[in-house]
Chain A
Amino acid sequence: MSKVLPAEGGLRRVIGDGHELPDGEVDLTPEQHLDLYRDLVLLRTYDERSVVYHRQGRIGTYAIFWNHEAMQAGSAFALEERDWIFPSYRESAIGLLRGLPASTVLSWWRGHPAGWWNPEKWGVASICVPIATHVPHAVGFAWGSRLKGDDRVAIAYFGDGATSEGAFHEGATFAGVFNAPAILFCNNNQWAISTPVSAQTAAATLADKAIGYGMPGVRVDGGDVLAVYEATREAVARARGGDGPTFIEAVTYRAAPHATADDPSIYIDEERVEEERENECVGRYERYLKRFDLLTDAQVEEIRAEGLELMRAGIAEAEAEPPADPGLVFEHAFADPPASFRDDLAELRRILGG
């Protein structure tokens, strides 16, 4: 039986502005609040340092996620360890929240094989570079887990542009039909490189699309880590309880270039960006926590220092990786490589003189 549910119109919000907008609350202990803040700062530090490393020529082209940290950390905080995360390149460092070493993710952006991890070890699928094609993976994983009697949930992250892709449509269709315990998490930062969301769809909101797949569509302030957490927690509970998938549209505004190779000054509204930067998500949560006496300046300093140290160690470790052997070109494509690979490698080694 299909369940046609109306999508929610307004953005969910928890964090106020300390003035006219009142603060809401979520059911987290002071320790959990601190953990969540640590996650936010870790991602922020990863992102800011990565841009520097790119400028220094220490990593390659990098997809910036500045001010997307609340969407990533807030949603991931609502998951259990056994749940799987299917990231796009915008969530390249989300594995850090599960203990994936920074050196691994930095190695990925350095194009070094040490950057390719085992998804089973971390519950984090490989970074999906093509747009939206991992949505059916998350759905298949969630569906397959349910069939096996596991109660694991899968979350797929993608941007607003991804909702125009056929893979999103097919994945969402499957999620609805098979009642998959999946969360389709859209970080609607309103830009797909230079294409605004108004050019992606004529729908009033992206969450409206959820109706067509027979799943609830929830809209949340993507800069509000607690609202994101709360919406995801609800979606996880629905999924684990056998009530199927949820589409979450987290709305923000891209306040940094799409990637290090992008020049947004050609197309973006700089005033709007400035507004967004002043209201960025880490500061919003920090001020919230201070209003409730849950965070001290000393803790802020300490947590920032932790993040910086982790990155310093991470880049050092990534740079200390020995150069990849060209023989790796032939590794891992097949469990049992064809004989031709052996011949190709022998020829390559002869020519390289190795």
Chain B
Amino acid sequence: MAELLLVEAVNDALHIEMERDGTVMVIGEDVGRLGGVFRATAGLHERFGADRCVDTPLAEAGILGAAVGLCMAGWRPVCEMQYDAFSYPALDQLINHVGRYRWRTRGKMSFPLVIRMPYGGGVRAPELHDDSPETYYVHTPGVKVAIPSNPADAKGLLAAAIRDPDPVVIFEPKLHYRTGKAEVPQGEHVVPLGEARVAREGTDVTLVAYGAMVPLAERAADALDAEASIEIVDLRTLKPLDEDALLASAAKTGRVVVIQEAPRTCGFAAEVAAVLAEKAIYDLQGPVLRVTGYDVPYPYWQIEDAYMPSVERVVDAVRRLLAA
């Protein structure tokens, strides 16, 4: 085990996977000489050279479109989108091609590309450096989506994504890139896609969360310690969703609050609530509640805390549910 920051765990995974497989390459804006604006790719340029850790022009659709062609030429490109909202121009390629090309070839060709990006708010940044765009990606057929909440999963999910034969998008909670070190297995470490994790065992209420909302859920559970036994399910992979883990926890506690930083309408929490409504309704003792961002543009950072799901809002939801 090593004690690593989340961003260091990402970097570790990239080093190990590029060492392990000579067809893995990293492309993106400022990923080479600079090592990425968050230093997630630091050292790769020196270790693997300019052909395998490539500084690209500032063109996100170009990065992702070129990655499709790189796959056809036998590469496994790992594309960095510098920030969450900077990835929107690349949605053109994602929707039109990345999620469809395997299908177009009737399964004859694989497109083992990875898109990784820092996401989410709470970092006092200018506009469009704070978004949580996971729903756009989850909604796109042919694409898998994972969001780690801690350093070990950041390493393991990225490794799984790089080895996966299909396109995988990894959202890294930039708020927690450097908030604390945690134990990370050394050497090769793979967290399989599609397996959720029970981050905390409890019996009264389940908090379903992913990414930056998991540490928040943990703080809320601490705050509720005297009132209720809280279980936390860290989804880790949004697509494919680990329904078994979700349903098992719902059956156990009978009460579920889903937390998501993205705007509410049609966000991933709605999908979780729908799955529970379809498959767990008789296990539930109350409505599935959502604690989410609001249906507004991500606000000015001086008041961003009012937008972000907070310990207080989660505690309030849990209390409402227990009182129902």
Contact = CB atoms under 8 A, between A and B. Distances in A.
A145 interface: yes
Contacts of A173: 57, 59, 62
A82 to B, nearest CB: 12
A324 B144 CA distance: 27
A213 to B, nearest CB: 11
Given A130-B96, A148-B73, A167 B105 contact: no
A136 B166 contact: no
Given A126-B101, A133-B93, A116 B74 contact: no
Contacts of B97: 133-134, 137
Contact of A339 (B66, B142, B240): B240
Interface in B96-139: 96-97, 99, 101-110
A136 B61 CA distance: 8
B106 A140 contact: no
A139 to B, nearest CB: 6
Contacts of A293: none
B141 A126 contact: no
A318 interface: no
B68 interface: yes
Contacts of B142: 333-334
B287 interface: no
Contacts of B73: 140-145, 147-148, 150, 152
A2 interface: no
B66 A332 contact: no
B178 to A, nearest CB: 32
B61 A141 contact: no
Interface string B159-192: 0000011100000000000000000000000000
Contacts of B56: 174, 177
A234 interface: no
Interface residues of B, number: 45
A76 interface: no
Contacts, number: 146
B107 A332 contact: yes
Given A170-B62, A174-B56, A340-B240, A332 B106 contact: yes
Nearest to A335: B165
B68 A136 contact: yes
Interface in A159-177: 166-167, 169-171, 173-174, 177
A144 B75 contact: yes
Contacts of A135: 65
Nearest to A173: B57
B67 interface: yes
A84 interface: yes
Nearest to B103: A332
Interface string B20-41: 0000010000000000000000
B69 to A, nearest CB: 2
B102 A335 contact: yes
Nearest to B141: A333
B65 A140 contact: yes
A125 B108 CA distance: 12
Interface in A110-139: 113, 116-121, 125-126, 130, 133-139
A154 interface: yes
Contacts of A166: 61, 89, 92
Given A84-B72, A137-B72, A170 B108 contact: no
Nearest to A125: B72
B232 to A, nearest CB: 24
Q: Top 6 nearest A-B pairs by Cβ distance?
A: A140-B69, A136-B65, A144-B73, A170-B62, A140-B66, A141-B69
Given A116-B104, A120-B72, 4 more contacts: A119-B72, A134-B97, A139-B65, A143-B69
Interface of B: 25, 51, 56-57, 59, 61-62, 64-75, 89, 92-93, 96-97, 99, 101-110, 141-142, 144, 164-166, 194, 239-240, 243
